[in-house]
Structure 1
């Protein structure tokens, strides 16, 4: 689940098994009615986080993420 930490999107890193890892350059796509933020962590590992519509729109409005496909 995506969380808001210091204005950015954070997620769980499966590779490093750590929580609340900041996502670098996230892009939020809408797939099957779900809002999915995809990006990379500081080490270059791919990450993804699912969030609600309100959280996705708030991150885009604040400039923390870019709009992807499906909007």
Structure 2
């Protein structure tokens, strides 16, 4: 049985870039931290602008398992 991957799973974590005002910008080398029970992915875009995205627990664990992101602080 083949499972269909979503756009986010195949490309990694995407976020909104405040500086360039564009949506779905891929993060380069994201790190997922757990702060106050929330999963926050932080990274940079291809131009070096800082970005952040809030994820659910399931999505955060999927990205770490797939190798799209690294575990940061707060993980057990």
* TM-score in terms of structure 1 length: 0.93
Counterpart of 1:23? 27
Specify which of 50, 56, 61 is matched with residue 54 of structure 2.
50
- Residue 65 (structure 2) pairs with residue 64 (structure 1): no
Q: Which runs of 5+ in 1 are unaligned?
A: none
Counterpart of 2:38? 34
Report how many aligned residue pairs link the two structures.
69
Task: State the 1:60 CA deviation.
Answer: 0.1
Judging by fraction of residues, say which structure has more strand: 1
Q: Which runs of 5+ in 2 are unaligned?
A: 1-6
Relative to structure 1, is the Cα distance of residues 5 and 63 closer, same or farther in structure 2, using a 3 angstrom cutoff?
closer
Give the greater-gyration-radius structure (CA).
2
List structure 1 runs of 4+ shifted beyond 4 angstroms. none
Relative to structure 1, is the Cα distance of residues 6 and 56 closer, same or farther in structure 2, using a 3 angstrom cutoff?
same
Task: State the 1:5 CA deviation.
Answer: 5.4
